[in-house]
Amino acid sequence: MATGTTTMAKDTILKVEHLSMKFGGLMAINDFSFEAKRGEITALIGPNGAGKTTVFNCITGFYKPTMGMLTLNRSNGKEFLLERLRDFEINKVAGVSRTFQNIRLFSGLTVLENLLVAQHNVLMKASGFTILGLLGLPTYKNAAKAAIEKAEYWLEKADLTDRADDPAGDLSYGAQRRLEIARAMCTGPELLCLDEPAAGLNPKESLTLNALLRGIRDEGTSLLLIEHDMSVVMEISDHVVVLEYGQKISDGTPDHVKNDPKVIAAYLGVEDDEVEEIEEKLDKGIIEEGTV
Amino acid sequence: MAIASENNVQPDVMAKAIKEAVFAGVVAFCMFLLFVGIETYQDINNQLVWRTRWGLLAVFVAVAVVGRFVTVAFIKPHLDKRKLAKAKTGVLDISEEKSFFHKHFLKIALVFLLCYPFLAMMIFGRQGSLKYVDNFGIQILIYVMLAWGLNIVVGLAGLLDLGYVAFYAVGAYSYALLSSYFGFSFWLLLPMAGILAALWGVILGFPVLRLRGDYLAIVTLAFGEIIRLVLINWTDVTRGTFGISGIAKASFFGIWSFDVGAANNFNKAWGLPSSSVYYKMFLFYIILALCMLTAYVTIRLRRMPIGRAWEALREDEIACRSLGINTVATKLTAFATGAMFGGFAGSFFAARQGFVSPESFVFLESAVILAIVVLGGMGSLTGIAIAAVVMVGGTELLREMEFLKHVFGPDFTPELYRMLLFGLAMIIVMLFKPRGFVGTREPTAFLKERKAVSGSFTKEGHG
């Protein structure tokens, strides 16, 4: 596997450097860099069309970036350059797992089966690539039992134990969101990327989601999430990166970002003369970039 | 319709039925005027002339008119009334107890199949049973096996393969060629044919499986045609359209032979009168065993990670990739496994016919097999088997329907209308059971209870 030459601080799990993505003439992401720390929840926010999902698709291998380097640092010390891995290897080898903005469950499979499919690679190895499993060897039987236990653990966490034998398509929207997260966790990732996990949830469901995400972080999985719901972002994230028109405009703790005039301008809009005013101040160095 | 107006419903319905029947008659007349009303043929001087068949046209139109009238006037009100009565009593279909037959259907079917050749012999005599064992039994079971093989590709993995018959051809020709050139036995060539077909599946799949949906369907269709054209044109090896004849029969595991002149002839060894029916019965049990093998492997594979990955692939390919599943490898295994069973069936077909030619592997065969899979309910082994019995058995039954000649005239050949039967069956099934005979899906693992998954949740796959 591709091993990066740059040495990274031990506590950085993902380092994105100079990421650019071009669709024809459109520059969706322009020279975007940030770092996600191990054991933290990093949030990626920005107005609609800022390029957040494009960043996600680059990290998880659905797009090949035009430029840039994406380095993932696993806890065992191995480093992977994500842009060089094949799409499925990003999960299998590098341990990055993701969910989707528009939920992508296996709706015709039961909830339990969804979680078992997520453990495909482990089970595949245990079944000797199907051949030993067909012969009925105990290694596969034990692995299958362990897989069901792991699935049960995540069913419990996601509060879906009662629905284990129902088709995934039959679940309510909030439950489908939780199932998608549980499924992603069943692959045993080190970095979990969530694309708008709170979209379409009611306030109560939002709260349970927060608890679930915190639980995942406390068990040692780092999270990277895109979110519009500021109550979720400000509540649970340790680190926020703001993206607008494909460029980073702010980066820091939730409190820092909340008060950044550039972020406020991006979200609420400002009068034309105010923009000039801020730019003037920036030029003169009265206020420093990235501070209040 | 309001309950109060129940009494004056009758004339309304009648008027409506007559109106619709006339309309159906007009549509049928316009449709069949050129297809049925006029027939072209060559006369003695090889000139193309045409004649009219008003009588036959009248029969077609009359069937449409009467059928529509009966449907609107009687069948539909009856069905509505029954539905209403059911809704009033509050008895739901699902809460009804399953009957004994329904519960033990599979066991009963298997026992029946095991006894079938003997039953046929008891009822129709030795020579009379030949038709039932061969034309009905073996023929249907070959299609069951082919459809179960294709089911792995289409039903489980969701890859629309319109060229499945290519693997059937590869299996048939591998047996025919290797046995006539090298004299290998059936039992050696049966697995070899499967492996060769699987190999072809991989060779075809590798470049093709990047495509999805309609594009994949077109390329597999083309591959099926390519194989057939190679068989026609590579005359040095395959003897082209003449086909390969005199293919060796399957032996009884090398112990007894079914060749008439052989010293270890099966019939002689067991003191049976010389008749080909014993060979046919033997073939019946071979294809039955092959079918059972296909079913067993399919059921086992569905519970293995690879089978779950196939079904997951059918549901959502992008989600599969995000979970670290190598989709190309997974698709290839589905393609190869399906192809392997096609190859087994092909080599059996060659041994049974004793003759193969490219004529047997036209696109229509692929279409028929695919139709059986879709009619049966994609992914359901029971449904597919029932569909094969209905469709293949139905076409064979048409040959038997001599009495139709009295209705439609002496020139009427019922088996020419089998495609009409296929179309009719498809329309009826798709209207009433859009997911096929068995639309539900059995889950492969469960925590507390095994609940069938309704067909409305499963997807057909997009390639």
In tens, the pLDDT along B230-258 reads 988 988 888 878 888 877 777 777 677 77
Tallying the residues shown for chain B, one arrives at 463
> Is the per-residue pLDDT at B217 higher than 50?
yes
- Tell me how far CA of residue A181 lies from CA of A99, A163, B442, in angstroms: 7, 15, 25
Mean pLDDT throughout B141-160? 91
Mean pLDDT throughout B175-185? 84
Give the residues of chain A that fall short of pLDDT 50.
1-7, 290-292
Q: How far is B29 from chain A (nearest CA, A)?
A: 44
pLDDT at position B1, please? Answer: 42
Q: Packing angle between helix B105-131 and helix B277-302, nearest 10 degrees? A: 150
Which residues touch A73 (CB under 8 Å, ≥6 apart)?
A: A8, A10, A12, A13, A14, A15, A38, A79
d(CA B381, CA B295): 7
**pLDDT over 70, % of chain B:** 89
pLDDT for residue B395 = 80
Tokens of residue B195, six digits: 């492996």
In angstroms, rounded to a whole number, what is the distance separating the alpha carbons of residues A90 and B421?
51
Nearest to A165 among B306, B323, B443 (CB): B443
Interface test with A, best of B435, B441, B447 (most A CBs within 10 A): B447
Within 10 angstroms of residue A53's Cβ, the number of other Cβ atoms is 18
pLDDT at B2 over 70: no
Q: Tell me the chain A residues in contact with residue B308 when contact means C-beta distances shorter than 8 Å.
A: 109, 113, 116-117, 120
Are A60 and B448 in contact (CB < 8 Å)? no
Exposure of B135 in the CB half-sphere (CA atoms within 13 A): 14
Same domain, A240 and A128: no
CATH code at position A204: 3.40.50.300
Cα A22 from Cα A150, distance rounded (Å): 40
Q: Which residues of B touch A89 (CB under 8 A)?
A: 324
Is the domain of B199 the same as that of B345? yes
Tracing tokens 């980066």 back to the chain, one arrives at: A251
Alpha-carbon distance B334 to nearest alpha carbon in chain A (angstroms): 12
* Average of per-residue pLDDT across B95-115: 74
Nearest to B224 by CA among B175, B177, B176, B170: B170
Among A138, A169, A187, which residue terminates a domain? A187
Closest residue of B to A115, CA-based?
Answer: B323
The residue from B34, B54, B89 where one domain ends is: B89
Q: What is the pLDDT of residue A275?
A: 63
Q: Does the CB of B157 have a partner CB in chain A at under 8 Å? A: no
A2 and A59 part of one domain? yes
Burial class (CB in 10 A: 0-12, 13-18, 19+), B342: buried
Q: Is the pLDDT of residue B407 over 60?
A: yes
> Same structural domain for residues B83 and B115?
no
Bridge partners (DSSP) listed for residue A252:
A240
Min distance A112 CA to chain B CA atoms (Å): 7
At B411-420, the pLDDT tens digits run 767 777 777 7
Task: Report the mean per-residue pLDDT for chain B.
Answer: 82
Q: Do B152 and B300 belong together in one domain?
A: yes
Total CB pairs under 8 A between chain A and B? 141
**Which CATH number covers residue B224?**
1.10.3470
Q: Which domain holds residue A116?
A: 106-187
Within an 8 Å CB–CB cutoff, is residue B292 touching chain A? no
Q: Does B442 touch chain A (CB under 8 A)?
A: no
Domain membership of residue B383 as a residue range:
105-432
Contacts of B451 in chain A (CB under 8 A): 110, 165-166
CB contact under 8 A, A108 and B304: no
CB contact under 8 A, B311 and A134: no
User: DSSP for B376-433?
Assistant: H-TT-HHHHHHHHHHHHHHHHHHHH-TTHHHHH-TT--GGGGHHHHHHHHHHHHHHH-
Specify whether A39 is located in the same domain as A169.
no
A88–B447: do the CB atoms touch at under 8 Å? no
Q: Are residues A89 and A194 in the same domain?
A: yes
- pLDDT at A10 (0 to 100): 59
Identify which of A104, A110, A121 has the shortest CB distance to residue B318: A104
Residue-wise pLDDT for B274-304, tens only, equals 777 778 888 888 899 999 999 999 988 888 8
**Model pLDDT, residue A285:** 64
Cα-based distances in Å from B163 to A151, B42, B170, B190, B334: 39, 35, 12, 21, 15
The tokens for B342 are: 């096609």
A181 and A58 assigned to the same domain = no
Whether the per-residue pLDDT at B9 is higher than 70: the answer is: no
Residues B18 and B152 in one domain: no
- Tell me how far apart the alpha carbons of residues B30 and B57 are, in angstroms, rounded to a whole number: 10
Q: B49 with B158, same domain?
A: no
Nearest CA in chain A to B300: A134
B113 and B53 part of one domain: no
pLDDT in tens, B317-368: 888 888 888 888 898 999 899 999 999 999 999 988 888 888 888 888 898 8
Do both B117 and B64 map to the same domain? no
Buried b (16+ CB within 10 A) or exposed e, B206-238: eebbeeeeeebbebbbebbbebbeebbeeeeeb
Instruction: Write down the ipTM of this complex.
Output: 0.82
Chain B hits for A155, Cβ within 8 Å:
447
CB distance B387 to B437 below 8 Å: yes
- The pairing of strands A67-73 and A26-37 is unpaired
| C-beta of residue B347 within 8 angstroms of C-beta of residue B171 | yes
Residue corresponding to tokens 């094949």: A86
Q: Which residues contact B143 (CB under 8 A, 6 or more apart)?
A: B368, B369, B372, B388, B391, B392
Choose among A91, A168, A170: nearest Cβ to B323: A91
Most confident option among A280-284, B46-50, B123-127, B342-346: B342-346
Whether residues A54 and A158 share a domain: the answer is no
Check A117 against B326: CB less than 8 A apart: no
- A16, containing H or E segment: strand A12-23
